[in-house]
Structures are given as structure tokens and as C-alpha cells.
Amino acid sequence: MHTVPPLSTVAAEARALAAALHERQVRFLADLISIRSYTGQEQAAVERTLQELRAVGCADVHVDSAGNALGRIGNGPRVLLYDAHLDTNEVADDSEWPHPPLQPVVENGALWGLGASDCKGGVASIVYGAAILAAILKALKRESDFTVWVMGATLEEDAEGFALRSLVERDGLRPDVVLLAEATDLSLRRGQRGRCEVRVRTTGRAAHASTPDLGDSALLKMLPIVSALQAMNASLPTHPVFGQGTQAVTLIEGPHTPNSVPSWCEIALDRRMMPGETAGSILAGIEAAVGPLGGTARIAEQPVRTHTGLQLDGPSYFPGWYLEDGHPVLDAGLETCQHLWGARPAVDVWRFSTDGTYSAGAAGIPTLGYSPQEERYVHAVNDQVDLGKLEKAAAFYALFPFVFSPKE
């Protein structure tokens, strides 16, 4: 049988199952919070996620080569990937936290703890979206038009997009659409600015600092370059939503010998990019400014090591992206909320960078963000996620494939 039930029926079922499974969802999230999972050390959180993916009825539960936790629901032609990361940023000082960061506590209708809002609440949302989906498909006794992959991702805090790139390019999973459960407070996110780190270098000739005339200072050559890079801010590309790109000199380095004229000098430049800018266009603009002053430019290389021991070093380059009005993925997100709660959510862009820099920015896979987590609690000592919103997000992730998949 291949009849699609009315979406209003599936939506009612998704809401009811989200409520029925809510306690299990909260227990899973509390377990995840209690497991320390700094970037590159996600193994225990990955294992806990695999256990839950099996328990909720996923097939093909496994760890990919970069150490991401994966499970699948359905086996249809349209492939969706739900991505939320398991790694958290590091706690600077536990004494500043109202509750110990690794001891989850429910207070005022929210679950508190490290990573609750970034991004373990997102992981609990997509895993329980899959749980509801599994139950609905079982009750319908029909083949799905879609395949949903649920991904407990690694490495996001230090090198967003690197683990997702590995899944797509190394392990060969090619989704048609990616949904990201980074903080959106139950609104939709359709894009982000990009960023990259550019290194500019000058070289000279070393000499003893007591006879500076015998040398050629790379540091003095750098001074007009810093001014020229700063002056570029007035003419960087603009975008109607994201505003103007920016760049800032953030580091200066040279040989650590205070009694020598430095033979080399290098600066780091943090560049915030608009969708459409490329590594080539950025380097060309910077080289035009620094080349005549004696500087050379390159994109920095970022060292990245997974908890499985794989070295994923790559350019420190994270392109921006933006999903246009009327895109079927954006419309499906709006309709999913409409069917579930009778109202369309707000649509916005992210201030920070996400795994979407790879999926949408580099690979061109349509990407959309939705989650219960709130940006104001991200990387904050009052890290928490609202439990009512957590339940709603699971319903969203269960219904979305029914809304999106039938369209061609």
C-alpha cells in the first residue's frame, strides 16, 4: 500500500508520540550532558548515542571513519541527513556555573548542563525525531519515500564542517538535504556568514640588534601591510542580509629573539565572508593590497585529529551560504511547523558558523537549521535547554520528511 495519510493526521501522531517519548528523550539528554566530550574526545558520547539510536529503532547504526555516530530510518530514494554535534566547548571555570556543568539539573522547565544548548539538546531532538518517525512508519506499514540519517557529529567546535566533509567525501554518504540542529529557538535558520584565516608573511635579513643597519627588518615591512589590510574593510563585499564582510588582524609572530632584527614576520587575519566569496577571490584581493608592500598571503592550515585517530588537517576556510526565498527545503520547514502548530516560524540567519559551511557552503547541498536551543545560552555558564521546546523539536524532525519528500 502506498497511500500517504493526510499530513494533519501524521502531524497529530507526531505530536502525541513526542509527548509519549518525552521522558526518555530527557533521560537521554541528561546522560549525554553527564559525559564530558570536548572536541576530539567524543568517543564516550558517541557510544552513548549509538546505544540510543539502536534503542529507538534505527538501522545501520555505526561509527564512520571520522568517528561520527550514525543511524538510519527508512530506505527511500530521497536522502535527508540530520546533523547535531556531540562535542562541547571547554569549561573555563566550574565555580562560575550555577550548577556543576556535567551534572544535569531540571530547573524552571529547562535542563541545565554543559552542551544543553550547543548542541546536545539538538542531538536529543534529532534522535527522538527518528524515534517518532520509526514508530509512525511501523504503524503505517508502508515503505518510506525517504531515508533519514541521524548524525551525532564530532569536531564541530574546533573545525566545523570537517567531520561532515569526511562523512560525505571519505565515506560516500551523499544527502539531498541537510538539517542542522544548532541553536535556533524553534525558528528556522537559512544561512550564515563564512570565515577564514589568512596568513600574511614578510621576510628580511637578520642582524644583531646592536647593529640594526646591517639587517632588513621583516617587522617594519609588516607595519604598512597591517594598515593596508585594515583599510580594506571599507570596500569588502556586502550582502543584503549579512551586511558587510570584515577583516581583522588578530596575531603577529616572528622569531623569539629580542636581540635580533627579525628575518621574518607573520600575521593572522580573521576574515568574515559573504556567501559567494571564494578562497581564490579573497586571496586575490589581499594579495593585491599586500603584494606591492612585499607581503605574501595564504590560507592557514588547520590541524584536526578525530577521536578515532584520523588526521583531517585542511584549510582554515569556512564558506558562507544562504538559502533563497521559495527554496523547497525552506518551504518544507515552514509547512512542517504550520502542520504541527498552526503557525509559521520566524526565519533568520546564524551569527556563528556551523557544519553548514561544508554542506551548503562547500558542497552545495541545501541546508536548513532548526532546534529548541537558544543562542543566548550557547557557551554560557547558564547553559540550558527548555524541555517544552525539546519535545516540539522532536515532532518537527519526525514530520519534516513527510512534508518534504513527496515533492519533486
How near is the Cβ of 295 to Zn ion at its closest, in Å? Answer: 34
From residue 182 to residue 211, the character string flagging contacts with Zn ion as x (rule: CB under 5 A) and all else as - is x-----------------------------
Report how far residue 28's alpha carbon sits from residue 287's, in angstroms, rounded to the nearest whole number.
Answer: 50
Report how far residue 392's alpha carbon sits from residue 398's, in angstroms, rounded to the nearest whole number.
Answer: 10
Report how far residue 195's alpha carbon sits from residue 318's, in angstroms, rounded to the nearest whole number.
Answer: 5
Stretch that binds Zn ion, among 70-78, 109-117, 178-186, 342-350 (CB under 5 A): 178-186
Per the annotation, the verdict on 87 as an active-site residue is: yes
Q: Which is nearer to Zn ion, 355 or 391 (CB)?
A: 355
Burial of 77 (C-beta count, 10 Å sphere; 0-12/13-18/19+):
exposed
Q: Is 87 in the site for Zn ion (CB under 5 A)?
A: no
Per the annotation, the verdict on 156 as an active-site residue is: yes
Q: Which is nearer to Zn ion, 160 or 266 (CB)?
A: 160
Which region, left, alpha or beta, applies to residue 326 given φ > 0 means left and ψ of -120 to 50 means alpha?
A: left
How near is the Cβ of 38 to Zn ion at its closest, in Å? Answer: 13
Q: Total binding residues for Zn ion by CB under 5 A? A: 3
Stretch that binds Zn ion, among 5-13, 117-125, 224-232, 254-262 (CB under 5 A): 117-125
Q: Does a cis peptide bond (omega within 30 degrees of 0) precede residue 119?
A: yes
Residues in the chain: 408
Report how far residue 371's alpha carbon sits from residue 397's, in angstroms, rounded to the nearest whole number.
Answer: 9
How near is the Cβ of 378 to Zn ion at its closest, in Å? Answer: 7
Q: Is 286 in the site for Zn ion (CB under 5 A)?
A: no
Report how far residue 408's alpha carbon sits from residue 367's, in angstroms, rounded to the nearest whole number.
Answer: 17
**Of 64, 83, 118, 277, which one interacts with Zn ion (CB under 5 A)?**
118
Q: Which is nearer to Zn ion, 367 or 405 (CB)?
A: 367
How near is the Cβ of 117 to Zn ion at its closest, in Å? Answer: 9
The helix/strand count (H/E) of the chain reads as 11, 23
Q: Is 123 in the site for Zn ion (CB under 5 A)?
A: no
Residues 6+ apart with CB under 8 A from 67: 42, 43, 46, 154, 163, 306, 307, 308, 310
Q: Which is nearer to Zn ion, 182 or 374 (CB)?
A: 182
Report how far residue 191's alpha carbon sits from residue 246's, in angstroms, rounded to the nearest whole number.
Answer: 17
Report how far residue 185's alpha carbon sits from residue 188's, in angstroms, rounded to the nearest whole number.
Answer: 8
Report how far residue 231's alpha carbon sits from residue 218's, in angstroms, rounded to the nearest whole number.
Answer: 21
**Of 119, 179, 229, 395, which one interacts with Zn ion (CB under 5 A)?**
119
How near is the Cβ of 85 to Zn ion at its closest, in Å? Answer: 6
Q: Which is nearer to Zn ion, 147 or 184 (CB)?
A: 184
3-state secondary structure of 32: helix
Hey, which bits of 34-165 come out as E strands? 59-63, 69-73, 78-85, 105-107, 110-112, 146-153
Of the listed 83, 118, 156, 157, which one is catalytic? Answer: 156
Q: Which is nearer to Zn ion, 217 or 373 (CB)?
A: 373
How near is the Cβ of 33 to Zn ion at its closest, in Å? Answer: 14
How near is the Cβ of 42 to Zn ion at its closest, in Å? Answer: 13
Stretch that binds Zn ion, among 116-124, 192-200, 232-240, 400-408 (CB under 5 A): 116-124
Q: Which is nearer to Zn ion, 202 or 353 (CB)?
A: 353
Nearest one of 319, 356, 362 to 193, comparing CA atoms: 319
Q: Is 374 in the site for Zn ion (CB under 5 A)?
A: no
Site for Zn ion in 224-243 (CB under 5 A): none
Q: Which is nearer to Zn ion, 64 or 182 (CB)?
A: 182
Q: Is 375 in the site for Zn ion (CB under 5 A)?
A: no
Q: Is 126 in the site for Zn ion (CB under 5 A)?
A: no
How near is the Cβ of 9 to Zn ion at its closest, in Å? Answer: 34
C-alpha torsion 241→359→277→332, nearest 10:
-30
Report how far residue 241's alpha carbon sits from residue 247's, in angstroms, rounded to the nearest whole number.
Answer: 18
Stretch that binds Zn ion, among 16-24, 27-35, 181-189, 384-392 (CB under 5 A): 181-189
Of the listed 13, 87, 355, 374, which one is catalytic? Answer: 87
Q: Which residues belong to the active site?
A: 87, 156
Binding site for Zn ion (CB under 5 A): 118-119, 182
